[in-house]
Structure 1
Amino acid sequence: MSITSAVANAHAAAAAGAGKKAAQVQLQAELATDDEWNKFLLRDGLLVVDVYTEWCGPCIGMVGNLKKIKVEIGGDNLHLAIAKADTIECLKRFRNRSEPTWMFLAGGQLVNVVFGADAPRLARTIVEELKVEEQVKKGEKERIQRAPHELTPPEQEVASAQEKLLQQRREKEAVAAEEARLTRREKRAVRLETHFMDVCPGLMMPHAQKNLRKISDALEPYGVLVADKCPLVLGKDGARILAMEDPEFGQPEAAAALAERPSLALLLKKMPDKEGNVIELVRRAIFGEGLEAEDEESAKKVVAEELMANGVPGLFVPADRHQRASILDLLFPKMVGALVQPPTPPEPPHLAMVFGAWQRRAILQIAASPKLAPRMLRYGFFTDANIKEPKLLCKTLEKYEERPEKDHSETIVLMVAVGVAEPLLADPKDIPPDGPPDELMTLGPLHVSEDTVVGAEECERFFPPGYSEPEHKPKPKSKKKKKKRQETKDEAEQDGSVDTANDTVDEAEGNGEGSAEGEGEENGDGEAEGEGEGDAEGDEEEDKHVDKATSPPPTST
């Protein structure tokens, strides 16, 4: 433990006279490790600890009041400290909080907790707990038995309320995520049905491939034939997709075989003269769905059961149109891609975080770190913090820096991922933590979406469809250069020869583009002349432009 605060004059020094040097007593101890924390808890008397975090710091404004209380009331029976929650395991529940927190401990037990920088309340609590501690020492009262890491009743109430809100938020987000997933699957199924209405994919496991003839014979009476087949190693990602469609293929033995050994992808097609849904026909032939077994002998003829090995199914066939679309994309991407564009990767659940634009450099530096860069989906600069009707200024830092004047009301908005669109398909280590990044929260955002449902709505207003598409810059055209080309054309015509470049000019003029270009160029020349005349004047005013967004807004006095 190291002494961090100033020293106070002890009562004994004051009574001895002003001529004697005042004794120095420790006001606050600084605790930053578990060892220092445990040693401090062994002290006798009442311990008052200011718990702080790295990014917020201890409550400096209360030092004067604590010094006065210790000298006038507490003496050796009161010990003060500041403790860093980030590095002390017992205090982990106070991490990432900005509210001042005061812990009262005695005899190794937590007797009280006070939140907020309320000096009168803190002083009253210290006086009350000192009296209680004196009564405990005299045997008149028993000390509360509560370990420092346990919650006090008020903390428990707050924690229960927060947990309830968190559970409600998660349920709301789960419902929204499932609805979005079903919408994506339905859209893809409808798109593929245009070209693959009478087609059904299938996948034979490595151990079942010797029974391909049996599959073909079972399908033939139902008007379905094996139109194509090809060996395929799905790999880990493909195995996850199949397991998400049918959990039976997520068994360790099945997943390992799919990821490492070649399976057989089948393309099953309904014959033109056969009526009915191809998926239903295939499942009736392979799994016996929709059939009533007349006797025990007919029940044994179900092909799917014959292909089972050690509880691992031998054949996958989609159960509905959604699964068909997913498996077609998985097994036959080239065939599907030749007719239909690949599906757009879904966006992960995300939040909107709004900051003052004057923080842009610190924000973008943190956002570009290897840990957070994959979570930063989009960003942009806006006129203010209006969430309902945002007005875009520009999309990049470079464009924002080019603005001659900036204002404190301008904001930078980040679209931050707080999960993945398909958790079952992602590696657990690649799934980001729930909630906004702590590194950005330490900068004090002006606004953060309350959940991913609200975040999706807000981000759609900030970053509408097409926001990320590259902007097409018009090519600058010069009137003088065109005159040169026209003169070259005239000379060439006089010589009886016209080159390819002049033919291009003729075509542009023939389509009516020449007149539009000419008008634009005349305006451009006028602007250029105006700029030329005002160059000197602009240089004089350059120093008068103030970048109001490079520092925090002024505080009111």
Structure 2
Amino acid sequence: MAKKGGVQQLQADLQNDEDFEKFLERPGLLVLDIYSEWCGPCLGMVGSLRKIKLEIGGDNLHLAICKSDTISYLKRFCKKSEPTWMFVTKGKATNLLFGSNTPKLMKLIAQELELLNKPRTFYDITELQPEEERRRKVKLDTQTEAINKEKAAKKKKRHDYLNMMTDTIIENIPDMGVTVFGPQVNRDMYKKLLEPAENMKLQCKDRRVINVSRADFDVVNYACPNPLSEDVLEQLDQKDLMMCFWKMPEDDRRPIPEVLNKYAHELTKERHEVDDLTEEEIVHPPIIVPMDLTIEIELQEGEEWEDEPEPEPEPPPAPKKAHLKKEEAPTPAATAEPVEGEEDEGEEGSEGDEGGEGGEAGEGPEMPDLQMEPFDLDFDLDDGEEAEDEAEPEPEVEIVVKKRYRKKIIRIPPIWVAGNARTHAALIYVFFRQQTSGFLPPDPAPEPPHIIMAFDAYKKRDLISVMERLKDDVPRYGFFTSDEAEDAKLIANSATKYAGLPQNPTDKIVFKVNKQTSHTMLSLATYGPSYVSPDAVIGHEEALKFFPESYKTAEQEAIEMAERESVKPKKKKKRSSIHNVKSENAEQAPATSTEESGESRPATAPEGEETVLAETQLGEAPPTEGEQPPAAGEGAEAPREGSTSAPAEGEAAPVPTGEETAAAAENPDAGGGLEVAHSEAPPEAEGHTEAPAEAPPEEAPPAE
């Protein structure tokens, strides 16, 4: 307990603005350990801080931990995980240190104690110090570089995809091209446009009027050597343009741009013709001509325009001058007429007053005093109103005069022909996609930008519950040995598998998070990530290392296992049937003699009984040692007990008698073998075997 109390006395715990302001009033050097609520103060420095306070700091050194979440002066340090040390003297900041480098911190504290009463530069607590400015600049530069890198990577990826699409189009329809007509060319002119095309044997396979956008031309012009100018594209944005899809002549082997440029020349040139009667030359105007658009651009303050035409800038200021004259003209009239009227009325009134004064001598001296006060008040009010009226038009005049315009003429061409085959393929890809449906696959859904977010593995329960709610934005997750993409090794691809493995405190759960909406990232960030990708480009590279193409989620593994199990029994059945065929062939190989004779051999008879069974079935057997061969008629007339003869064609198998059944019971091996032989005899044997010609008729066995 004493140790805990010592730690509390060593560093003051500041939680709000009031405590913070009181602490800043202390003399000496104040060292503030600034932390965020989710991270906590740097506990590893406590021993070193106690040592330096006892050795050289003494009463001149005061230590505190400051919670940036609740102290308004330190809001810029909120939500940061890096340890931050601020040095304060006389209520002003003198230095700042980031990180947990103990020797560096101790050295800086010693230096600040030496400079305690010396002149130096001070900063407000809320003011950014040079180290912060440097870090801020580095951060901005890094972000700008990352954004440019992301744009370049996205552009390259887009160009690679467009190259693949246009290559496919060029390969499948190499004799197709597109012409884009300006907004001055409408559908009614289509018949006139076809006349030069028919002379050149061009076939218009499709014609469309399309509302184009700037984004469409960004795709079309990605590899174009002669794109339309930026001013023209700006004027064509959201305009309806007619486009024709042409098939080149079969006998014309020239490049598509050359053929269509000749067609464009025929449309835009003057045609000369000689009249047969008068022999005069007649000049016909071009079928289509350029269109000039004049636009006004407002000049900014201080901007100069040298090429401004002299006669054309006069119309805009003209109405301004007229406006000024109109405002100035009524002003004197409005001011002069009432003044004159007032003067007349004043004169008349004064004359009447004088006449009154002459008639009444007693009231003469008092009246001027009564009349002067209201006259002075009215005069002052009138002057104020007139001054306000004069002041009101001045700001309007200034605002109008400040606006200056310049005129710019933009020429819209009547027809545009791309300068290479790839741009023609891009025009087909963007505006005539239906012509490629037979060979070009649909565009895949673009993968959204994503980042990597890593957390300590012990937070898995809460994090996975969040991931389940936002599954569309978190396509991948897994457990790894580290949150560094270069060194991390996969432990498990699901929480269930990870629970059954040995776990380490350094294990991390890593999420691949789509950067479409900030809601998902904010929901996960509340659990304190140990690492977050700085931008989408680095996040994409890290995601390829954590989750390569070979990575499979637990759901994918379950689906593949189910598919393997559904296919596996069929393969086993096929193998077992092959094995059965091989075994049947092996069993049938030594019994060819029995099959030829029309008899079947027992399938399960032991080796020693094969000869006996052959004797019983055929009626003959080779004599054993010491025995004489039987006579020819004996074996045929009196077969042994228990033997059966093969039935002739068309006859039913003989039914065993009671004695044969009893004999089979006494000798189960022989009976079982016979039964198996009858039941498992191959059907082919019946068709190929014939009963012997001299087969003896069936006879009942002799009685005992």
**Which residue of 169, 182, 185 corresponds with 2:159?**
182
Query: Given the alignment, which residue of 503, 526, 529 partners 1:408?
Result: 503
Aligned equivalents of 2:19, 2:263: Cα separation in 1:
73
1:281 to 259, 271, 285: 259
Cα distance, 1:113 vs. partner? 1.2
Query: Kindly tell me: are residues 393 and 251 of structure 1, through their superposed partners in 2, closer, same or farther at Cα, counting changes over 3 Å?
Result: same
Local SS of the residue matching 2:208: strand
Instruction: State the alpha-carbon separation in 1 of the partners of residues 468 and 232 from structure 2.
Output: 36
Please name the residue that 1:495 is paired with: none
Whole-Å separation in 2 of the counterparts to 1:518 and 1:244: 62
Once the 2 structures are TM-superposed, how far is the Cα of residue 339 of structure 1 from its aligned partner?
Answer: 2.7
What per-residue deviation string (whole Å, max 9, x for no partner) do you get for residues 212-250 of structure 1? 536555656665443212344457975875687867389
Are the counterparts in 1 of residues 28 and 59 from structure 2 also a CA contact under 8 Å? no
Distance 2:484 2:60 in 1: 54
Question: Residues 243 and 249 of structure 1 are in contact (CA less than 8 Å); yes or no, is this contact kept in structure 2?
Answer: no
What CA RMSD, in Å, does the superposition of the two structures yield over aligned residues?
A: 5.8
2:525 alignment counterpart = 439
Contact 1:228–1:266 under 8 Å retained in 2 = yes
- After the TM superposition, which residues 490-505 of structure 1 pair with which residues of structure 2 at under 5 Å, given as runs? none
Q: Provide the C-alpha distance between the structure 2 equivalents of 1:248 and 1:144, rounded to a whole number of angstroms.
A: 52
Between the aligned partners of 1:250 and 1:148, the Cα distance in structure 2 is 54
Report the structure number with the largest CA radius of gyration. Answer: 2
Distance 1:167 1:309, change over 3 A: closer
Report the alpha carbon displacement of residue 312 of structure 1 after superposing the two structures with TM: 7.8
User: Is 2:567 the counterpart of 1:474?
Assistant: no
Q: 1:465 to 1:167 in 2, by over 3 A?
A: same
Paired residue secondary structure (1:266) = strand
Residue type of the partner of 1:180? Answer: K
**CA 1:279–1:163 in structure 2 vs 1: closer, same or farther (change >3 Å)?**
same
In the other structure, the counterpart of 2:549 is: 464
List aligned pairs for 1:253-264, cutoff 5 A.
Answer: 254-255=236-237, 257-258=238-239, 262-264=240-242
1:115 matched to 2:98 = yes
2:41 is aligned to 58
Distance 2:537 2:169 in 1: 30
Match of 1:336 in 2: 436
Residues 57 and 391 of structure 1: is their aligned pair in 2 closer, same or farther, counting only changes over 3 Å?
A: closer
Deviations along 1:520-550, one digit per CA (max 9) or x if unpaired, are 9xxxxxxxxxxxxxxxxxxxxxxxxxxxxxx
The equivalent residue for 1:486 is none
Q: Equivalences for 1:508-519 in 2 at 5 Å?
A: 514-516=573-575
Percent sequence identity over aligned pairs: 21
The reply to whether residue 30 of structure 1 matches residue 89 of structure 2 is no
Instruction: Work out whether 1:82 is the aligned partner of 2:171.
Output: no
> Pick from 242, 246, 249: which aligns with 1:271?
249
1:276 is paired with a residue whose SS is coil
Cα 1:153–1:118, aligned 2, differ >3 Å: closer, same or farther?
same
Indicate how the Cα distance of structure 1 residues 403 and 42 shifts in structure 2: closer, same or farther if over 3 A, else same. closer
Give the superposition deviation at 1:184.
Answer: 1.8
Relative to structure 1, is the Cα distance of residues 402 and 188 closer, same or farther in structure 2, using a 3 angstrom cutoff? same
Give, in whole Å, the separation in 2 of the partners of 1:99 and 1:438: 20
Per the alignment, residue 31 of structure 2 pairs with: 48
Deviation, structure 1 residue 272 = 2.4
- Secondary structure of the residue that 1:180 maps to in structure 2? helix
Q: CA deviation at 1:144?
A: 0.5
> Does structure 2 conserve the Cα–Cα contact (< 8 Å) formed by 1:356 and 1:408?
no
Q: Deviations over 1:142-170 (max 9, x none)?
A: 23144556665556666666677667666
Correspondent of 1:101 among 68, 84, 97: 84
Q: Is the 8 A contact 1:353 1:413 kept in 2?
A: yes
Q: Which amino acid aligns with 1:443?
A: P
Task: Find the residue that maps to 1:341 and give its secondary structure.
Answer: coil
Structure 2: 5+ residue runs without aligned partners? 270-282, 296-409, 580-704
Partners of 1:437 and 1:312 lie apart in 2 by 53
Please name the residue that 1:530 is paired with: none
Matched, 1:192 2:169: yes
Quote how far apart the aligned CAs of 1:349 are: 5.7
Q: Distance in 2 between matches of 1:122 and 1:387?
A: 31
Contact 1:205/1:264, CA 8 A, preserved across alignment? yes
Change (3 A) 1:416 1:62: same
Cα distance, 1:384 vs structure 2: 8.2
Retained in 2: the 8 A contact 1:219–1:285? yes
Alignment of 1:99-498 (within 5 A): 99-107=82-90, 109-117=92-100, 122=105, 125-126=108-109, 128-133=111-116, 135=117, 141-148=118-125, 152=129, 176-204=153-181, 208-209=185-186, 212-213=189-190, 216=194, 224-233=202-211, 248=230, 254-255=236-237, 257-258=238-239, 262-283=240-261, 285-286=263-264, 305-306=290-291, 311=410, 313=412, 318-347=418-447, 359-365=459-465, 374=473, 376-380=474-478, 397=494, 400-401=495-496, 405-408=500-503, 412-416=509-513, 439=525, 442-445=528-531, 452=537, 455-456=540-541, 459=544, 462-464=547-549, 471-472=559-560, 473-474=562-563
Name stretches of at least 5 consecutive residues in structure 1 with no aligned partner: 1-5, 11-23, 136-140, 292-297, 419-429, 483-507, 521-557
Can you list the C-alpha shifts for 1:9-57, whole angstroms capped at 9, x where unaligned? 99xxxxxxxxxxxxx999232247xx99789778776443322234322
TM-score by length of 2: 0.46
Q: How far is the alpha carbon of 1:172 from its aligned partner?
A: 5.8
Distance 1:272 1:56, change over 3 A: same
Q: Which moved more, 1:221-230 or 1:345-354?
A: 345-354
Q: How far off is 1:459 after superposition?
A: 0.9
Q: Is the 8 A contact 1:27 1:67 kept in 2?
A: no
What secondary structure does 2:250 align onto? coil
8 A Cα contact 2:68 2:74, kept in partner: no
CA contact (8 A) 1:352 1:416 kept: yes
Between 1:100-109 and 1:80-89, the stretch displaced more is: 80-89
- AA of the residue aligned to 1:192: I
Distance in structure 2 (CA, Å) of the matches to 1:513 and 1:386: 45
**Residue 221 to residue 39, structure 1, CA distance change in 2 (3 Å):** farther
Residues 275 and 104 from structure 1, CA distance in 2 versus in 1: closer, same or farther, beyond 3 angstroms?
A: same
State how far apart, in whole Å, the 2-side matches of 1:515 and 1:282 are: 64
* Shift of residue 366, structure 1, vs aligned partner: 5.3
Distance 2:92 2:527 in 1: 32
1:444 maps to amino acid: S
**For residues 200 and 430 of structure 2, what CA distance do their matches in structure 1 show?**
26
Preserved contact between residue 29 and residue 112 of structure 2 (Cα < 8 Å)? yes
The amino acid that maps onto 1:29 is: L
SS in 2 for 1:27: strand
CA–CA separation in structure 2 for the residues paired with 1:46 and 1:109? 10
Does the 8 A contact of 2:209 with 2:243 survive in 1? yes
Query: What amino acid does structure 2 have at the position aligned with 1:341?
Result: P
AA partner of residue 248 (structure 2):
K
Q: Deviations over 1:496-535 (max 9, x none)?
A: xxxxxxxxxxxx9xxx884248899xxxxxxxxxxxxxxx
Residues 234, 415 of structure 1: CA spacing in aligned structure 2 closer, same or farther, 3 A cutoff? farther
Distance 2:544 2:461 in 1: 21
Distance 2:141 2:485 in 1: 27
Taking a change above 3 Å as real, the CA distance of residues 514 and 61 of structure 1, as seen in their structure-2 partners, is closer
State the distance in 2 between where 1:271 and 1:36 align: 88
Instruction: State the number of aligned residues.
Output: 432
